[in-house]
Amino acid sequence: MPGSVPPESAYDRRRLGQWARSEARTAGMARRDLIRLVAAAGVAVPLSTQAAPAAAVPAQAAPPAAPGIVKPLPPELFTLRGTNAETRFAALRDTGHHTPADRFFVRNHTSTPLIDAADWRLTVWGDGLRGGPAHFGYEELRALPARTATAFIECAGNGRSHYTTQQGQTVSGTAWTLGAIDVGRWRGVRLAEVLRRAGITRRAVDVLPRGLDAEVVSAGVNLGRVRRPLPVAKALDDALLAYELNGEPLPPDHGHPVRLVVPGWIGISSIKWLGDIEVSDTPLYTPWNTDLYRLFGPDHPAEGSAPLTRQTLKSAFELDWGAELTARRPVRLTGRSWSGAAPVHTVRISTDGGHRWRRARLHDSPRRDTWVRWSLEWTPPAPGPAVLLARATDGTGRSQPDTAAYNTQGYLFDAVVRHPVTVV
Ligand SMILES: Nc1nc2c(c(=O)[nH]1)N[C@H]1C(S)=C(S)[C@@H](COP(=O)(O)O)O[C@H]1N2
Ligand SMILES: [Mo]
């Protein structure tokens, strides 16, 4: 897989082998159900319409603007998509490098639970530990050595709707445009620190963080709580147990009191409302690393690709779809580009549908796990329709292609998006 570091892919191959030989356990669900799901994965039903009813937000909470989301979702900031809310890229135009928490996109499999930090504790358990379970209260975690990191959270399906609008392909899942990403400044304690204190052994291969939100029911099957195995190599590297976003306690919709932040990896890795973490010396499987978040389709094996890890490469204009621009009046086009593989150091823009390209000016120094802001001055010529394109290149030398590789669930869209505007 592009961008994934060799130890991870080697690990995944070994894990797949163990799964095939039935050495792996299916964490928290019947093997029969899991096999059924794997078999059905090629025709997966969109989870967004199958989620359990919103039940976790108590009646005294402010009326949510989308089922199960607590914060206000004004239409100038968000597009509502079922239980989820997509950030409007135009609403990021006046924001800095970090996305204000009130504009952060929300991806909920069910609904936001309201959890009091004082009643909360994290349990770390499993046969990958030297002893029994270890518990950490909120204040205990806050007293451990803290670390701050800037990182994006981006849904694996971000940009998915462009498989259909731009490539004419049918895919399942939430029909995001490009706004299922935001960048936060996260403060917390390294997952490695907590795992070491809990007594992780050298035999451990997977950790399984699990959320406290409601169980997910999809196509009549109870998948249990949201949980996705994370290889120990990544868990011990840069994963963070975050309790602050942009200098404030985590907001309810983004995982209060504590969430995982897995820099550079697809959003599902960053489990919100963390309740427990299993540490296992055999590989673990859940629906989120078997039938979901792998690539399925004609170019992939029947059991799918290896579980997805790193995010891909994308660019977006901070401009409404179909925005009106005035002819012969100079305008400053702005946007952002990012990659899960390496810093983005070059962005090229076309204002004539892809014939001529100019280099955008970057407003951030290229850094891994986050985006670069960019701009370009343009004077639209005569009135009429125009198509804007932005193409990023990252530190691995990879540039956004014209067409994204098809997969049934529409993950990892990376093609240059053709952004229509009207010159008036
Ligand atoms: N417990 C829990 N964690 C979760 C989810 C969820 O529904 N429940 N959604 C995941 C997905 S698919 C994404 S893309 C990110 C979204 O994070 P955000 O809502 O803070 O933007 O959280 C991930 N963590
Ligand atoms: Mo996601």
What pLDDT digit, counting tens, does each position of 39-50 carry?
A: 333 333 333 333
Residue 278 clears pLDDT 90, i.e. is over it:
yes
Q: Is residue 273 located within the same domain as residue 386?
A: no
Q: Is residue 280 located within the same domain as residue 342?
A: no
Q: Ligand 1: does its nearest atom lie under 6 Å from the Cβ of 214?
A: no
- What pLDDT does residue 26 have? 52
Q: Higher-confidence residue: 26 or 299?
A: 299
CATH number, position 181: 3.90.420.10
Residue 78 clears pLDDT 90, i.e. is over it:
yes
Q: Ligand 1: does its nearest atom lie under 6 Å from the Cβ of 16?
A: no
**What is the DSSP-derived secondary structure letter of residue 45?**
P
Residue 140 clears pLDDT 60, i.e. is over it:
yes
Question: Is 375 within 8 Å of 315 (Cβ atoms)?
Answer: no
Residue 283 clears pLDDT 90, i.e. is over it:
yes
What is the band of 66 on the pLDDT scale with cuts at 50, 70, 90? confident
Q: Ligand 1: does its nearest atom lie under 6 Å from the Cβ of 106?
A: yes
CA distances from residue 60 to 56, 63, 70, 251 in whole angstroms, order as listed: 12, 8, 11, 17
154 CA to centre of ligand 1 in angstroms: 9
Pick the atom of ligand 1 nearest to 105's CA: 21
Greatest extent of the chain over all pairs of C-alpha atoms, in Å: 72
Query: Given 224, 254, 289, which residue is the final one in a domain?
Result: 289
Q: Ligand 1: does its nearest atom lie under 6 Å from the Cβ of 27?
A: no
Query: Given 257, 289, 321, which residue is the final one in a domain?
Result: 289
Q: Is residue 190 located within the same domain as residue 240?
A: yes
- What pLDDT does residue 102 have? 97
Q: Higher-confidence residue: 82 or 31?
A: 82
Question: Is 122 within 8 Å of 115 (Cβ atoms)?
Answer: no
Which ligand has an atom closest to residue 78 CA? 1
CA–CA gap between residue 152 and residue 132 (Å, rounded): 34
**Looking at residues 227-232, what average pLDDT do you find?**
98
What is the residue range of 217's domain? Answer: 8-45+103-289
- What pLDDT does residue 88 have? 98
Whether the link from the prior residue into 257 is cis, omega within 30° of 0, is yes
Question: Is 421 within 8 Å of 319 (Cβ atoms)?
Answer: yes
Q: Is residue 374 located within the same domain as residue 340?
A: yes
Q: Is residue 324 located within the same domain as residue 284?
A: no
Q: Ligand 1: does its nearest atom lie under 6 Å from the Cβ of 273?
A: yes
Q: Which of 48, 104, 268 to mutate to test the pocket of ligand 1 (most atoms within 8 A of CB)?
A: 268
388 CA to centre of ligand 1 in angstroms: 31
Q: Going by CA atoms, what residue is nearest to atom 16 of ligand 1?
A: 107
Rg (CA), the chain: 21
**Looking at residues 166-179, what average pLDDT do you find?**
98
- What pLDDT does residue 391 have? 98
The sign of the CA dihedral 222, 45, 73, 91 is: positive
- What pLDDT does residue 65 have? 63
Q: Ligand 1: does its nearest atom lie under 6 Å from the Cβ of 34?
A: no
Q: Ligand 1: does its nearest atom lie under 6 Å from the Cβ of 293?
A: no
- What pLDDT does residue 364 have? 98
What is the band of 311 on the pLDDT scale with cuts at 50, 70, 90? very high
109 CA to centre of ligand 1 in angstroms: 7
pLDDT digits (tens, 9 = 90+) for 329-347: 999 999 999 999 999 999 9
Q: Is residue 257 located within the same domain as residue 402?
A: no
What is the band of 350 on the pLDDT scale with cuts at 50, 70, 90? very high
End-to-end CA distance of the chain: 44
Q: Ligand 1: does its nearest atom lie under 6 Å from the Cβ of 242?
A: no
**Looking at residues 205-218, what average pLDDT do you find?**
97
Closest to 348 in 3D by CA, of 368, 329, 372: 372
For 6: left if phi > 0, alpha if psi spans -120 to 50, otherwise beta; the answer is alpha
For the chain, give the percent of residues with pLDDT over 90. 83
Q: Is 333 inside any structural domain?
A: yes
Q: Is residue 159 located within the same domain as residue 121?
A: yes
Q: Is residue 138 located within the same domain as residue 249?
A: yes
What is the band of 59 on the pLDDT scale with cuts at 50, 70, 90? very low
301 CA to centre of ligand 1 in angstroms: 27
**Looking at residues 239-251, what average pLDDT do you find?**
98
Question: Is 150 within 8 Å of 247 (Cβ atoms)?
Answer: no
Q: Ligand 1: does its nearest atom lie under 6 Å from the Cβ of 271?
A: yes
Residue 382 clears pLDDT 80, i.e. is over it:
yes
CA distances from residue 87 to 36, 249, 334, 383, 420 in whole angstroms, order as listed: 34, 21, 16, 29, 19
- What pLDDT does residue 67 have? 86
What is the band of 264 on the pLDDT scale with cuts at 50, 70, 90? very high
Q: What is the pTM of this model?
A: 0.88
Q: Is residue 212 located within the same domain as residue 324?
A: no
Pick the atom of ligand 1 nearest to 225's CA: 1
Q: Is 75 inside any structural domain?
A: no
Which ligand has an atom closest to residue 160 CA? 2
228 CA to centre of ligand 2 in angstroms: 12
Residue 109 clears pLDDT 70, i.e. is over it:
yes
Question: Is 254 within 8 Å of 31 (Cβ atoms)?
Answer: no
- What pLDDT does residue 27 have? 52
Average pLDDT score over the chain: 89
Q: Is residue 143 located within the same domain as residue 279?
A: yes
Least confident of 18-32, 192-206, 218-232, 257-271: 18-32
Q: Is residue 344 located within the same domain as residue 210?
A: no
Closest to 367 in 3D by CA, of 97, 157, 186: 97
CATH number, position 333: 2.60.40.650
CA–CA gap between residue 310 and residue 412 (Å, rounded): 9
Residue 355 clears pLDDT 50, i.e. is over it:
yes
Question: Tokens 């770390």 sit at which residue?
Answer: 124
- What pLDDT does residue 272 have? 98
Supply the DSSP string of 271-285, one letter for each residue.
Answer: -SSEEEEEEESS-EE
Q: Which residues contact 331 (CB under 8 A, 6 or more apart)?
A: 325, 377, 378, 379, 380
Closest to 224 in 3D by CA, of 57, 28, 24: 28
Q: Ligand 1: does its nearest atom lie under 6 Å from the Cβ of 155?
A: yes
Q: Is 296 inside any structural domain?
A: no
CA–CA gap between residue 297 and residue 328 (Å, rounded): 46
Q: Which residues contact 243 (CB under 8 A, 6 or more apart)?
A: 138, 141, 142, 187, 188, 249, 250, 257, 258
Residue 279 is encoded by which pair of tokens? 């540490």
Q: Which residues contact 70 (CB under 8 A, 6 or more apart)?
A: 57, 61, 62, 64, 112, 114, 251, 252, 253
The sign of the CA dihedral 396, 354, 87, 173 is: negative
Residue 188 is encoded by which pair of tokens? 């917390």
Q: Is residue 270 located within the same domain as residue 130?
A: yes
Which ligand has an atom closest to residue 108 CA? 1
Give the count of domains, the chain.
2
Question: Tokens 């489990």 sit at which residue?
Answer: 271
64 CA to centre of ligand 1 in angstroms: 18
Pick the atom of ligand 1 nearest to 266's CA: 14
